[in-house]
Structure 1
Amino acid sequence: MDQFRNIGVIGRLGSVKVVETLRQLKQYLIRENYHVIIEDDTASMLPGHGLQVASKKLLGEICDLVIVVGGDGSLLGAARELAKSNVPLLGVNRGRLGFLTDISPVDLEERLAKVLAGEFIEEKRFLLDASVERNGQALGFGAALNDVVLHPGKSTRMIGFDLFIDGHFVYSQRSDGLIVSTPTGSTAYSLSAGGPIMHPKLDAIVLVPMFPHTLSSRPIVVDGKSEIKLVIGETNEAYPQISFDGQMNIACAPGDIIRITKKPFKIRLIHPEDHNFYATCRDKLGWASEIAAS
């Protein structure tokens, strides 16, 4: 019996290359007698596709596998929507870096055939939940697979805030903000701000200050079960923002409280059997694969 009989397909909008790969993917899956369900926004890129159409939420309920065609950003968006459904996700890279979307369109059918035949690695990644409170009332909620970021928005002013971890006061800081990252996000924005690379299997969260006022402020790695609380300083003149994977923002005000915890459920990522985290780092980050001859 096939492990993946009903396969959902999501594509990044507005890309000719994604449309090419979607057409190739559709033809292959239909030829191999899989039941293909296309996400409703993606369907608009394939007029006359003749496939069943469903929302992202419904894809999670009726599919055995969801294939995301695009970049890491596309997979991040799908992961936030589909985490609760426990459906596995497979990424086909039509973006730039591709830490999460690791099947290349060049050998798509060959690699996909192996995955669909059961030759794959599955790993689970945790997400973050965040809430913003104002005067004791919930103002907004969001989820992130990579990172939750406190940042100045369009302002150029520094942000003053207090950091608490598990109820313990850690420090007051003035900086351009704070990146709160999962291991998945440690090779993204967090890395560019000087944060450490964390193996995806780690149950840990890293907090990376952005251009802090004091040079002694350094990234802190804490237990993945920690509750992180940020209190925006009452004297701030600027109104900072909280972003989720860089794709959604909530405007904050002085005195607001931001709470960040691990989501209670994880996403399931499917990789080809030869997937290796360190090889991906070598490839994507330009690490040397051999010592150059002197």
Structure 2
Amino acid sequence: MKPFRTVGVIGKRREPHRPTLGKLCSALESLGCEVLVAHNDELPELPAGRRVDAEELAGRAELAIVVGGDGTLLGAGRYLAPAGVPLLGVNQGRLGFLVDIAPDEMAESLAAVIGGRYELEERLILSARLTRDGKTEDSVYTAVNDVVLRNQASIRMIEFESWMGEQFISLHRADGMIVCSPTGSTAYALSGGGPLLHPSLQAMALVPICPHTLSDRPIVIGGDQQVKLIVRGDDTQATVTFDGQISEALEPGDSVLIERSDKPLKLIHPTGSSYFAILRNKLRWGRGQESIAER
């Protein structure tokens, strides 16, 4: 694999992350890398690296290393995926499903990755546009995990339609709907009873949130399809969120068009990384069966 020479560093605004950030920047510089640190007023002075804005980092970095949890990587992925910059995560969060390098493994893993010994994975992510009064807005929203339609303020159900292209799927009365990528299938959608999708799949899952009818079950569709959610009901106050981090209010008649993004999310993993090992170790998937496998 191609080695990296210009590396971006994205950190979170928390005191416990500062030592890791400092060690990371120093290690990268010792490996001969130009270090670009994403500008953040709350980050401390670091022993190495030059502060740059998001635009310069996206335009110049060959690799971006994210120090934080999955949420930090989601935010970085939304603006770096369109630029084609691959991401590597150093876990300083809780679960760390996407950020798979522990701080105590950082030095060894960095040397291998910077030297070209790594695995590159491309994952489908989502793109969305909003339509109001028959006019589609210019803004395009990107979501690594999911696009979620839900009630804006109260615990009342909302009413909405779902479509796949020109095909009507259903009229729903529920707390909302999760449209997730394979990456997002291990997040909110999993808690909502959705299926696990292997990250290599070109697919999306539609997962109703607490539907009023027992037959309103999750469904998986091809990644080349378009999904449209249309808000119905005169008194419905809905909102749409992207990765749980960006929200927009919706009115009755508004719609959300969701499809595969033109650019995939590129993730860097240490060699030998296993998706199923991550499922077992971090989600406890299949636990209780180890003794059977060992027989």
How much has 1:124 moved relative to structure 2? 0.4
Poorly superposed stretches of 4+, deviation over 4 Å: none
How much has 1:50 moved relative to structure 2? 5.5
In structure 2, stretches of 5+ residues that fail to align are: none
1:76-117 per-residue CA deviation (whole Å, 9 max, x = no partner) reads 111100112111110001011111100000121011111122
- Which residue in the other structure is 1:145 paired with? 144
- Which residue in the other structure is 1:187 paired with? 186
Task: Figure out how many residues of one structure are paired with residues of the other and give that number.
Answer: 290
- Which residue in the other structure is 2:35 paired with? 36
Secondary structure of the residue aligned to 1:143 is: strand
1:51-94 per-residue CA deviation (whole Å, 9 max, x = no partner) reads 32212221121111110000011111111001121111100010
Structure 2 residue identity aligned to 1:84: P
1:217-260 per-residue CA deviation (whole Å, 9 max, x = no partner) reads 11000000111111110x24231100000000010001111111
- Which residue in the other structure is 1:10 paired with? 10
How much has 1:154 moved relative to structure 2? 2.1
In structure 1, stretches of 5+ residues that fail to align are: none
Secondary structure of the residue aligned to 2:200 is: coil
The answer (yes or no) to whether the contact 1:8–1:67 under 8 Å persists in 2 is yes
Query: Aligned equivalents of 2:251 and 2:95: distance in 1?
Result: 34
- Which residue in the other structure is 1:243 paired with? 241
1:249-294 per-residue CA deviation (whole Å, 9 max, x = no partner) reads 010001111111111111210000021000000011113261289x
How much has 1:2 moved relative to structure 2? 7.0
Map 1:107-118 to 2 at 5 A. Answer: 107-118=105-116
The answer (yes or no) to whether the contact 1:159–1:236 under 8 Å persists in 2 is no
Map 1:194-209 to 2 at 5 A. Answer: 194-209=193-208
Structure 2 residue identity aligned to 1:253: E
Query: Aligned equivalents of 1:115 and 1:50: distance in 2?
Result: 19
- Which residue in the other structure is 2:271 paired with? 273
* Matched-pair identity in %: 42
Query: Aligned equivalents of 1:48 and 1:243: distance in 2?
Result: 34
How much has 1:49 moved relative to structure 2? 4.4
Query: Aligned equivalents of 2:93 and 2:177: distance in 1?
Result: 26
Which of these residues, 119, 122, 125, is aligned with residue 123 of structure 2? 125
The answer (yes or no) to whether the contact 1:83–1:267 under 8 Å persists in 2 is yes
Query: Aligned equivalents of 1:125 and 1:50: distance in 2?
Result: 32
RMSD of aligned residue pairs (Cα, Å): 1.7
